[in-house]
Amino acid sequence: MNISGTKVVIIGTGNVGATTAYSLTVQGVCSELVLIDRNKEKAMGEVMDLQHSIEYLNRNTRVSVGDYSDCKDANIVVITASASMEGVKSRLDLLDKNIPIMNDIVDQVMASGFDGHIIIVSNPVDVLSYYVYKRSGLSKAQVIGTGTSIETARLKQIIGERMRVDPRSVQAFAMGEHGDSQVVPWSHVRVGGKSFDDIFEDNAHRFGEIDKDKIVEMTRMAGHEVLSRKGNTEYGIASATTGIIKSILRDENQIITVSTLLDGEYGEHDVYCGVPVIIGKEGVIEVGEYRLTPSEKEKFHESCELIRSYIAKKSS
């Protein structure tokens, strides 16, 4: 791939797309940002609003409304376009509505001559990421779903609040489906390098009893809690998406839990799901394969099987 500059195209200017654009602009992640939406007036409104913020930021990101021809020389295309969540109980229930949307978007992106990285935010992100990977013809390293990156952030925030420490001092991750079957491998949860279980065993008088199942449930339900209160989620997922983009454009080689294709890792094949991966300029460089306990491995397998069953539905 021979691309100069740092250009990001966002397709879909709803709450998530617009907030991702704002996050990228505020942090000065890319030199050029292009917004695409069927509603061009909405896209232009977002662009104008972003342009008006440049005076008070540390970098002059060029923001514009574009079309699919702008994808040709883009480093990254972010897909946030989606059908409405109204009346939908599960992210998986969006699949039938979002497949036609992905058809249209992916075909137009690839027709432009695009050969960069695609980041899928639209739900159900694991199934759609697999679908985009197959339809686009891009390598698995180039097609990345946001996966459980947001659940990982929520999990760390909950643990940090419980222990009264900065969430960034918590080493933990969620994996599997970006949905109800997600898994938290407690055997790999650390705070300041010390295992979670050891901390509570050594400080029982301070922290009291800890209900891991409750923490997992709070992590799983966090998105629903936000949705029920304000009608949408945007800041968390936009920040997670920005983190993935930064790691690619700046070749940071960060470990982030994203949705990627498994090809033997954890004993799983031909499925996209959330796992810790090293992300750099090539996209997904390597899947981090952690040693799971038998119970964790079983739950992870069940989560993969659920995703695979929905992939099979749309492939049949």
Question: Whole-angstrom distance between the N-terminal and C-terminal Cα of the chain?
Answer: 33
Note whether 103 and 128 are within 8 A (CB): no
Closest C-alpha among 86, 97, 154 to residue 122: 97
Note whether 74 and 50 are within 8 A (CB): no
Interatomic CA distance for residues 254 and 279, integer angstroms: 5
Q: Which long-range contacts (CB under 8 A, 24 or more apart) does 162-165 make?
A: 162/207, 162/210, 162/215, 163/191, 163/199, 163/207, 165/191, 165/192
52, 117, 178, 205: the active-site residue:
178
Cα dihedral 98→103→109→115 (10° resolution): 100
Interatomic CA distance for residues 45 and 174, integer angstroms: 36
Let me know if 178 is a catalytic residue: yes
Interatomic CA distance for residues 240 and 78, integer angstroms: 12
Tell me which residues are annotated as active site.
178
